[in-house]
Amino acid sequence: MPTVSVKWQKELFPAVEIDTTQPPVVFKSQLYTLTGVPPERQKIMVKGGLLKDDADWSTLGVKDGQKLMMMGTADEIVKAPEKGPVFMEDLPEEEQVVAVGHSAGLYNLGNTCYMNSTLQCLHSVPELKTGLLSYTNSGRANDIDQYSHLLTVATRDLFSELDRTAKPVAPMQFLSVLRKKYPQFAQQHNGVYMQQDAEECWTQLMYTLSQSLRSSESSEVPVAVKTLFGIDLVSRLHCAESGEESSESESVYALKCHISHDVNHLHEGLKHGLKSELEKVSTVLQHSAVYSKESRISELPRYLTVQFVRFFWKRESNQKAKILRKVDYPLELDVYDFCSDELKQKLQAPRQALRESENAKFGLKAPDKNNSSKEKEDSVTKSEGSAVEHGEPSNTIDDKGTSSEKKVQLTGIYDLVAVLTHKGRSADSGHYVAWVKQENGKWIEYDDDNPIPQREEDITKLSGGGDWHMAYIIMYKARVVRI
């Protein structure tokens, strides 16, 4: 890939990398992030003429170290007239974002919809954005490696840019660092970057952020990724051959919804996903034996992620195949049945407070001797950006700025806030799209750079059964009470 310098007005950008496997419009998107000049306004001189969006780099003879000249004016904030109607395009970009009611889309930089959809889902988490904003450039936190640090910084800067503009954003810097940190996302076929698995991108980004955004007494990070997304599991292992029994604990960032011929609903798939078999050496038998493993949730997160296990390796065709079976999922998910006995006990009081508050809205609340009806009703919140206590990854979360006698507590009930879908027959092809619930309650379909408003009743129809978009990863937000 040649590296060129670009002269624009009085500025010189000395090291701009050209990916010659991508059309020139991608290069123009890079320059847009540097200069603010939209691609359609850019006039770049090469080989005696203007660079066209669909030109073939191989015929242009661009060499390493070459100096290119660009002309064009950057976006400017147009002042609204003092009198008369005010149009949205006349507003500052920050006000345009408020006016449209959602953040910007992301340009597809060549089979990057897997990345764009992942980013749009995670961008919807306000607590994550708050944690990223506190992450500074100076020094690498928590002794993480260079590219993990750079990927966290790139995520922070990209999320901030999405919140500042209503126009599509080109995530060039993020993509560049992602491919350096995780080279599998830089795979090419016949000189073209390949489509990748959105679940793998989600998992790798979540792992990186969990390492860099870790709360501690000396940390400025206000909330740990573990608190937001981490799920603690306790598992019972049983060997039928030897009669051995043991237990183990682990932390994951998503539950699995396994799909088989008898799974029609998310609840059934989650039940299958918490049961498995594994083979390991038995200390009693002194040889390998089969163990059954049954897991229960011992710690719940603020945001619960579920992956539909739709892809498997098909030996006949030597590629990933997709399970198209329809699996319904609800707008409201209750995971109480999947919790350990100890966690169920902790959830009893919060769930009772939630029921009483919701009943009060319909005039069904029974008289309460200890608290007024209004006080109980006011105690309930749907976790709209309330602060999480530093280093408090428990089911009882201290809420800063409130009385120490009241704490924000999880109920085991979650509301759907994001769906990442896949359309196509293979994980390494097809198209990924994000469907995200906004703070105003409206749903937006983020099809790369094209945000499209959607009705809530249509979101649960992305459940599969054909070649249309179907849920691959879904994310729920905890419904909490303050008691």
Percent of the chain with pLDDT over 90: 48
Q: What residues pair up with 49 in beta bridges, in sequence order?
A: 46
Residue matched to tokens 């237990």: 247
Confirm whether 238 is a catalytic residue.
no
Residue 217 in this model has a pLDDT that exceeds 60: no
Domain ranges of the chain: 1-75
470 near 479, Cβ under 8 Å? no
**Can you tell me the distance from the alpha carbon of 92 to that of 215, in angstroms, rounded to the nearest whole number?**
36
Given the residues 238, 265, 272, 431, the one annotated as active site: 431
**Can you tell me the distance from the alpha carbon of 199 to that of 429, in angstroms, rounded to the nearest whole number?**
13
Least confidently predicted of 7-21, 87-101, 267-281, 449-463: 87-101
Nearest to 212 by CA among 254, 151, 300: 151
Fold of 1-75: Ubiquitin-like (UB roll) (3.10.20)
Kindly give the pairing relationship between strand 3-8 and strand 67-71.
parallel
Per-residue pLDDT tens over the stretch 275-295: 988 888 887 887 888 889 999
| Sign of the four-CA dihedral 198, 307, 230, 250 | negative
**pLDDT reported for residue 304:** 98
**Can you tell me the distance from the alpha carbon of 323 to that of 198, in angstroms, rounded to the nearest whole number?**
16
Given the residues 113, 121, 201, 257, the one annotated as active site: 113
Kindly give the pairing relationship between strand 319-322 and strand 443-447.
unpaired
Residue matched to tokens 């809530």: 456
How much is the average pLDDT of 350-379?
66
**pLDDT reported for residue 389:** 34
Q: Which residues contact 111 (CB under 8 A, 6 or more apart)?
A: 192, 193, 194, 195, 196
Mean pLDDT of the chain: 84
Least confidently predicted of 295-299, 364-368, 434-438: 364-368
- In single-letter form, the type of residue at position 102 comes to H
How much is the average pLDDT of 133-160?
82
- Name the band, by pLDDT with cuts 50, 70 and 90, for residue 335: very high
Q: What residues pair up with 181 in beta bridges, in sequence order?
A: none
Residue matched to tokens 């764009």: 116
- Name the band, by pLDDT with cuts 50, 70 and 90, for residue 385: very low
- Helices 146-164 and 198-212: crossing angle in degrees, nearest 10, is 110
Who wins on pLDDT, 316 or 473? 473
Residue 387 CB: number of other CB atoms within 10 A? 16
- Name the band, by pLDDT with cuts 50, 70 and 90, for residue 91: low
Residue 142 in this model has a pLDDT that exceeds 90: no
- In single-letter form, the type of residue at position 293 comes to K
Confirm whether 422 is a catalytic residue.
no
* Residue 318, phi-psi category: left (phi > 0), alpha (psi -120 to 50), beta (remainder): left
Least confidently predicted of 85-99, 132-146, 276-290, 333-347: 85-99
310 near 323, Cβ under 8 Å? yes
131 near 221, Cβ under 8 Å? yes
**Can you tell me the distance from the alpha carbon of 410 to that of 334, in angstroms, rounded to the nearest whole number?**
11
**pLDDT reported for residue 392:** 39
**Can you tell me the distance from the alpha carbon of 73 to that of 145, in angstroms, rounded to the nearest whole number?**
39
How much is the average pLDDT of 327-355?
96
Per-residue pLDDT tens over the stretch 403-457: 456 788 999 999 999 999 999 877 677 899 999 999 889 999 999 999 999 999 9
Nearest to 229 by CA among 249, 251, 199: 251
Kindly give the pairing relationship between strand 408-423 and strand 470-482.
antiparallel
408 near 427, Cβ under 8 Å? no
**Can you tell me the distance from the alpha carbon of 7 to that of 13, in angstroms, rounded to the nearest whole number?**
6
How much is the average pLDDT of 324-332?
96
How much is the average pLDDT of 54-60?
86
The DSSP result for 74-139, as a single string, is: PP-PPPPPSSS---GGGS-HHHHHHHHTS---B---SS-HHHHHHHHHHHT-HHHHHHHHT--SSS
Residue 29 in this model has a pLDDT that exceeds 60: yes
